[in-house]
Amino acid sequence: MLTNLFVRVAFLTLLAGSLSIGAYAFSPWWLIPPAVAMLLNLRIACTMAKVDRTDILFAVLFVPAEVFMWVRISHFVRSWSRFLSRKKVDNWAMQAKAERGGGLGHWVPLVVLVAVAIALAVIWVLVGPLAQSSILWVGWPIVGVVTVLQTLMMFSKLVRRQHGFKV
């Protein structure tokens, strides 16, 4: 999950930075990881016992799976932040509050993400052009290497034998 969070946030940040200084150059290589992810999602969907059209569409469409991944990432970050802060939480009371329609806790990850994005944008504007291009020069290869490793792991799951198991 941390790798997924890092790749997504770093990619979007570097993309925004590149666009802001006119240094963006489209590379079709960046289409390979989403394609491998969609194929892996399709393979997993096909192993389900009662697969239907919506399962297949969810697997092959990029947006629903990406939204689901962001939801998983937000739950991951929220649970680990609670654990690391050692904050005592009454989960039963939170569940009852959520069932009543109260509470805005589910918006916290989005609010934090927007605040971080605004802070990064302000910092980006404050640093000079040399620092901006240096950040992009170092950042893109790091994100590229992590993405390649992540894609290779997905590809290995895609091509390994399935042994006929159904979910």
**106, HSE (Cβ side, Cα atoms, 13 Å):** 11
Q: What does the pLDDT read at residue 6?
A: 92
Distance of CA 74 to the CA centre of its chain: 9
Instruction: Please report the pLDDT score of residue 102 as a whole number.
Output: 66
CB distance 35 to 151 below 8 Å: no
**Side chain identity at 131, as an amino acid letter?**
A
Euclidean distance between CA atoms 21 and 125, whole angstroms? 10
Predicted confidence at residue 164, as pLDDT, reads 64
pLDDT in tens, the chain (167 residues): 899 999 998 999 999 999 999 888 888 999 999 999 999 999 988 888 888 898 899 888 889 888 989 888 888 887 888 788 877 777 777 777 777 776 666 677 778 888 988 999 999 999 989 999 999 999 999 999 999 999 999 999 988 877 666 65
End-to-end CA distance of the chain: 22
Tens digits of residue pLDDT in 95-110: 777 777 766 666 777 7
Q: Strand runs (DSSP E) across 25-127, as ranges?
A: none
Helix axis angle, 108-126 to 62-85, nearest 10°: 90
Whole-model pTM?
0.78
In tens, the pLDDT along 56-70 reads 998 888 898 889 898
Instruction: List the chain domain ranges.
Output: 27-88+127-159
Three-class SS of residue 111?
A: helix
